[in-house]
Structure 1
Amino acid sequence: MTQRILVIDDDSDVRELVCRMLEQDGYEAVAAEGGSQALESYGLLSPDLVITDVVMPDVDGFEVLLKLRHLAPGAMTMVMSGGGRVAPDIYLETAQRLGASAVLRKPFTKAEMLEAVHRILGPSNAPQPPTQER
């Protein structure tokens, strides 16, 4: 069964890029443009992992982490941040203290993203699409 990952980011470019990276590695990626949308659909989706940005206008990543602790205490979470009012390292350290399974500093490479996901979930068990060599 394909593992499902919920990707939350208010930046559509980042959200789409992360989803594409995950799908190319065999995961099912579901996008949410903000924390409130993600939390509303969490129960219906039952994702294996939630990847969230920190700085978002409606419900930020910290609030997502805190609410997931009550909704689904065993939920696996990864937080990504490029900073905002403070340096990204401060956001990411705070996310770890709030229980994030992993953190990722923006910008990141596909390899860094997948390495973090594999540490949490293990490699995708879905068949891999054929790669095209040039």
Structure 2
Amino acid sequence: MARILVIDDDASIRALLREILTEEGHEIEESPDGRAGLRRFKQYLPDLVMTDILMPEKDGVELIMELKEVSPTIRIIAMSGGGRGLDAAFNLRMAQDFGATRLLVKPFGRSQALEVVNETLAL
């Protein structure tokens, strides 16, 4: 299956995605923030990146721009539940404007996550 890098400062989101995606046969790596995520991306060379938008160290939009510089064809799923006075839709539109392939609104369920991952991997 696919190699997927999950970047999120929320350990429970990383654990949930690890559980969902490993059950489907995917290989998962994790990072707790954008800066560590960029380093891990360069080492791991995943097929797909799933990243939160609002994180410490380096936010998801900045990370998406840098990932696209390093690998213009990388598929990226941006995730957000809002925060910092902004709603999730605003955060996700901005992520899409800067290169996110697909969007996933938090909170999400197993079927939603799998649908978005499968659609993105099929591109």
TM-score by length of 1: 0.87
**Residues 3 and 48, structure 1, Cα contact 8 Å, conserved in 2:** yes
4+ residue runs over 6 A deviation: none
User: CA separation in 2, counterparts of 1:55 and 1:115?
Assistant: 23
CA displacement 1:42-95 (0-9 Å, x = unmatched): 122010000000010111100110001111111100000000120001001111
User: How large is the Cα RMSD of the aligned pairs?
Assistant: 0.8
Instruction: Give the match for residue 75 of structure 1.
Output: 74
SS at match of 1:108: coil
Structure index of larger Rg: 1
SS at match of 2:79: strand
1:29-44 to 2 correspondences below 5 Å: 29-44=28-43
SS at match of 1:99: coil
User: CA separation in 2, counterparts of 1:38 and 1:97?
Assistant: 20
Instruction: Give the match for residue 113 of structure 1.
Output: 113
Instruction: Give the match for residue 64 of structure 2.
Output: 65
CA displacement 1:27-49 (0-9 Å, x = unmatched): 11111111111111212201000
Structure 1 residue 20, shift from structure 2 partner: 1.0
Instruction: Give the match for residue 17 of structure 1.
Output: 16
SS at match of 1:120: helix
Gaps of 5+ in 2: none
Percent of aligned pairs sharing the same letter = 39
Gaps of 5+ in 1: 123-134
Structure 1 residue 104, shift from structure 2 partner: 0.5
Greater relative contact order structure (CA < 8 Å, 6+ sep): 1
**Residues 16 and 31, structure 1, Cα contact 8 Å, conserved in 2:** no
SS at match of 2:107: coil
Instruction: Give the match for residue 7 of structure 1.
Output: 6
